Amino acid sequence: MKNKVLKNVRVIALSVAAVAMVVAGILGTGVGANAAKTTEQTDVVKYVEFTEDITSYLNDNTAPEYPTSEPIGYGYLFGGWYDKNGDVYTEIKDTTDLANKTGTVVAKFVPAQTLSVKCQNWAGTKEGDSDVIVRVISATDSTNYSNFGFIVSRIDEAGKETVLTQEPFTTTDVYSKFNYYKDAEATEPTATFEPDDLFGKAAKHFTTCTVGKIPATAHGTIICIKPFWVTLDGTTVYGLSKFAHVEDGYLGYVNVPVNLNILSADNASSAGILSVKSDDGLTFVGTDEIECGKVFDEMEFNVLSDGTIKCAGNTSDISEKSEMDIYINLKFLRKDIDTDAPIANEFYTFTVTGEDFCNEKEVFLEEMDVWNVIY
Amino acid sequence: MKKMLKNKKLYITIIIICILILVGWIIGIVMNQGKETSGKNDSEQDVIVHETDENTVEEKAEEGLKESDSEDGPVLNEDNMIDFNGSDAKSDNNESEGNDVDDSKTDDKQGNDSEDNEDTNVTEPSDDEQKEDDENSDDTGSWGIFY
């Protein structure tokens, strides 16, 4: 009896050992080793080698287009073509060079958060003030761009959009530090910020423009800002648009623009749903404060008990809906509005889940890039 | 004899262990290959991704963006300011050009004569505002909270 039990124990022990050895062998090949890689790398600039012919992106050298970041996952924006000489990357500065290039060409991709927008009012701006000035800020990862710009428009209550300048505002000036003053009378800044404090690790330089003479009656009017950079070879790349309002500055609102990147003209969407979940630290203001974006004509939403905001939109005309733009703007209240603390060195992340978009034939669209919003 | 048998058993055990690890290794390689192939199209298979140290990227300072000496943005003046009221504005639906905002309401609190400004859409600042503008003309401004 004792021997039989011992024999059974031995068989079980040997079987377990055999399985363990097979598993050890599998693990030795590295299966499962890279599962947790993605999150940490989303704020890093990446260079992707293209060994195939890239002249298809040049569009006859008149209006260069650019590749999507599909090979490395969406959520990145094109930042220019580079030559790789050993370990040194040199930007290719014009399309002729690019068209004549043989061999490997490297495309730079920058985290989309870099090319997003934040705003500041003149310190001390309050309700009822007229001729208010707003500073619009974005960032770049390097000075290797021919210029940087903003398309600024206002959207009235009826949804009519008016672009404020005939030509987009452009600049070649970048800055390394921006200040925050709690009071207009203060002689020293309350805090000083560097680009990566506000726009993620990849951001190295600020860019800016100002919008002025905003009347007291327009503090709640949507100011729509679309940032862009132009690479040295002349490619214009649009970033994450933002809806801003003067009152956001003194009421403590955080606007969360959910941007859609419809990656192909053939993929113009006619309807789509998604859900947005906020980090702790922000309070959803309410359904009256949700603003329909610029992709769909109609939006509906539902706030679930766990705070998730479920959004659905549709549009009748999809003819011009083939580029990146705001799907919906959600408004939250910042909890630290009465404290001395500005938004410093911390980001609120709004996680987008359950994206499901279809075209007019109700065909599911796979090539849709919806970014989590990092505020 | 007994010792020889014991050694033989040891050798067989070692060989079995090696075979099991080898089997596991082969299974692992097959699994890795399947993982690399699934979900990739032809163009992706040529892609090599690098994450570089910024020092390995040449900055073309003479051609690209210029780092300004200013600590806190450009000097604030009307030349580099976008007019919200749209003296240079265009409507995206081509219904109208220019100002869509009723400026006549905007200056009442400051006591300015709004009717005089209707043609130009330019608002004259009050004395206090002019003083403030002058004070800030050599400065980049005191900007409030980021939003």
Residues B123-135, buried b or exposed e (16+ Cβ, 10 A)?
A: bebbeeeeeeeee
**CB pair distance less than 8 Å for A31 and B48:** no
ipTM for this model = 0.77
Residue among A31, A174, A215 whose CB faces B106 most closely? A215
The lowest-confidence range among A106-115, A249-258, B93-102, B128-137 is: B93-102
Distance (Å, whole) CA A174 – CA A138: 10
Give B116 to chain A, closest Cα distance, Å: 16
Optimal mutation site among B57, B112, B143, interface A, most CBs of chain A within 10 A: B143
Minimum-distance CB partner of B101 among A70, A72, A218:
A218
Of A115-124, B88-97, B117-126, the poorest mean pLDDT is in: B117-126
* Residues A333/A254, Cβ–Cβ less than 8 Å: yes
**Is the Cβ pair B35, A31 closer than 8 Å?**
yes
Q: Which residue has the higher pLDDT, B100 or A120?
A: A120
- Counting one residue from chain A and one from chain B, the pairs whose CB atoms sit within 8 A come to 302
Average pLDDT over residues B10-33: 78
A372 DSSP assignment: P
Residue A143 structure tokens:
């000075």
Whole-number Cα distances in Å, A262 to A46, A176, A299: 22, 33, 18
Smallest CA–CA distance, residue B1 to chain A, in Å, is 24
Residue A48 in contact with residue A107, Cβ under 8 Å? yes
Assigned fold of A252-375: Immunoglobulin-like (2.60.40)
Number of Cβ within 10 Å of residue A210's Cβ equals 24
* E strand or H helix at A199: helix A195-199
Q: Which residue in the block uniquely carries the two structure tokens 């919003």?
A: A373
| Chain B: residue whose CA lies nearest to A152 | B82
Taking the domains of chain A in order of start, what are their residue ranges? Answer: 42-112, 252-375
| Minimum distance, in Å, between the CA of residue B5 and any CA atom of chain A | 19
Strands B66-67 and A76-85, sheet pairing: unpaired
**pTM score, whole prediction:** 0.71
How far apart are the C-alpha atoms of A202 and A198, rounded to whole Å?
Answer: 11
Cross-chain residue pair B25–A204, CB shorter than 8 Å:
no
Query: What is the spatial distance between Cα B102 and Cα B79, in angstroms, rounded to a whole number?
Result: 23
> Could A215 and B107 be called an inter-chain contact, meaning their C-beta atoms sit closer than 8 Å?
yes
| Minimum-distance CB partner of A249 among B35, B89, B144 | B144
Q: Nearest C-alpha of chain A: how many angstroms from B100?
A: 8
Mean pLDDT of A23-33: 50
Cα three-residue angle A245-A270-A110, rounded to 5 degrees: 60
pLDDT in tens, B95-143: 433 334 333 333 333 333 333 333 334 344 444 544 444 444 445 668 9
Check B92 against A135: CB less than 8 A apart: no
N- to C-terminal Cα distance for chain B? 86
Contacts 24+ apart (CB under 8 A), A63-71: A64/A95, A64/A98, A64/A233, A64/A234, A64/A235, A65/A235, A66/A107, A66/A231, A66/A235, A66/A237, A67/A107, A68/A263, A68/A369, A69/A109, A70/A263, A70/B44, A71/B43, A71/B44, A71/B47, A71/B49
- How far is B51 from B145, CA to CA, in rounded Å? 34
pLDDT digit string, tens, across residues A85-102: 877 788 887 777 777 777
With CB atoms and an 8 Å threshold, state whether B105 touches A26: no
